[in-house]
Structure 1
């Protein structure tokens, strides 16, 4: 989408700076869709500015992206409405982006072999040699035969975003190890807890329960982790100021 410098600057600060036409173009939807989502309560109302023109911000963009991801996972409009209704009302665009990444993880694990050109297309940006090396170190891509790569589609988006994080490769890999170890421990304990509940049920009931519990457990883990991380960072920043 093409915007003027004033609009771009305002958007970067998080202020509502997009008209409904600009929001539609950036999100890849129609104006009619945005209005429909607003009427359903899926999208917050715009901020009314001078001349009674509504303006939208990064939060609207992030929420539309989350809705799109939920639709791609096969959720009905009613299910999306319930899902969004359970989210805390004060989520930032960054929080919504994290939720979108978690929703994307509901899809089955998919490793595909692609060309270098296709890898960059999916990454949404050119990849220098060092970028590919970092993605390999994070086990997001693996070199195949010739100029091909085996790509973990579920991790590619996250891996590409980590390329711009100002952390060393060692720190990112150490964080990955911590997350994997603790998530596996949590998954094991939850599986043990639920196993007792389904022991007397037949296979169809177990499959149905698993399908329903997967997104709910992921959302619960995400919410509790976000709160814990926010508290840890707040304590750290407070200590840094007083230390």
Structure 2
């Protein structure tokens, strides 16, 4: 398990189990440089943390989207080097949003296993309000690509109304950006055959996702950087 401070405490077996992959897969990604090296503890045992898990989940999502290993390596090399586990989780959620619906069904126990934490009734209601999970008979239907991000939002000190308002803002502007980009590229594919169109689409998805997300993160960081600055209201005294 990991500590609240993010100190690496997962063994390679625990990391693989959390991510739903094999130990061999973890070691393979590590040898290719896709995962940072573990922290070596007593008895030369490697320990992994939340960054390793988030990066591993992003790699698996990119592979699920059909990207080759070489394409995944290029994608990861272009990411800012200081991305936090939370930033990596957002990248994964956005990448997953390009995929066909990944809706799954689970009972309460299975849902908590997927989130890695117990869920109160209020938690489930908030996830439902965010559109991440929906009651379905005796169980729940949930968007696998957004579940982990939705659970992280449960700990954000914002009201449910603010979270939903933020979601509406993001959805509205994302649709506008998607429409304008589609119109921009329409002329490029109008005279190409179906296979060329599919190839262009497959290559453009991860590139556009990364460009939008990186630009948004930088813009948001600039906006938030001024929050702690002292107010200039009222001017200075002479």
* TM category, shorter: 0.7 to 0.9
SS at match of 2:229: helix
Give structure 2 stretches of 5+ with no counterpart. Answer: 234-238
1:163 aligns with 2:163: no
The structure 1 residue matched to 2:97, chosen from 97, 100, 105, is 105
2:180 aligned with 1:189: yes
Report the 3-state secondary structure (helix = DSSP H, G, I; strand = E; otherwise coil) of the residue aligned with 2:228.
helix
Q: Answer whether contact 1:135 1:160 (CA < 8 A) is retained.
A: yes
Contact 2:107-2:140 at 8 Å conserved across structures: yes
CA pair 117-47 structure 1, distance change in 2 beyond 3 A: closer
Query: What's 1:27 paired with?
Result: 15
Whether the 8 Å contact between 2:51 and 2:84 is mirrored in structure 1 is yes
Equivalent residue number for residue 201 of structure 1:
192
Change (3 A) 1:150 1:67: closer
Report the TM-score, using the length of structure 1 for normalisation. 0.78
- Once the two structures are superposed, residues 72-125 of structure 1 have per-residue CA deviations (whole angstroms, 9 ceiling, x without a partner) of 334332222122122122222322222222233232113345444444443333
User: Pairwise CA RMSD of aligned residues?
Assistant: 3.0
* Cα deviation, residue 141, structure 1: 2.7
Q: CA offset at residue 67 of structure 1?
A: 2.3
Number of residue pairs the alignment of both structures matches? 229
- Determine if the alignment matches structure 1 residue 230 to structure 2 residue 218: no
Q: Contact 1:14–1:58 at 8 Å: present in 2 too?
A: yes
Change beyond 3 A, Cα 1:51–1:136: closer
Tell me if the contact between 1:136 and 1:142 (Cα under 8 Å) persists in the aligned partners: yes
Of 134, 138, 143, the residue aligned with 2:130 is 138
Structure 2 partner of 1:5: none
**Which secondary structure does the structure 2 equivalent of 1:130 belong to?**
helix
The C-alpha deviation readout for 1:123-157, integer Å capped at 9, x for no partner, is 3333322222222222223334x424333333322
Out of 22, 35, 44, the residue aligned to residue 43 of structure 1 is 35
Higher helix share: 1
TM superposition score normalised by structure 2: 0.79
Distance in 2 (CA, whole Å) between partners of 1:215 and 1:31 is 27
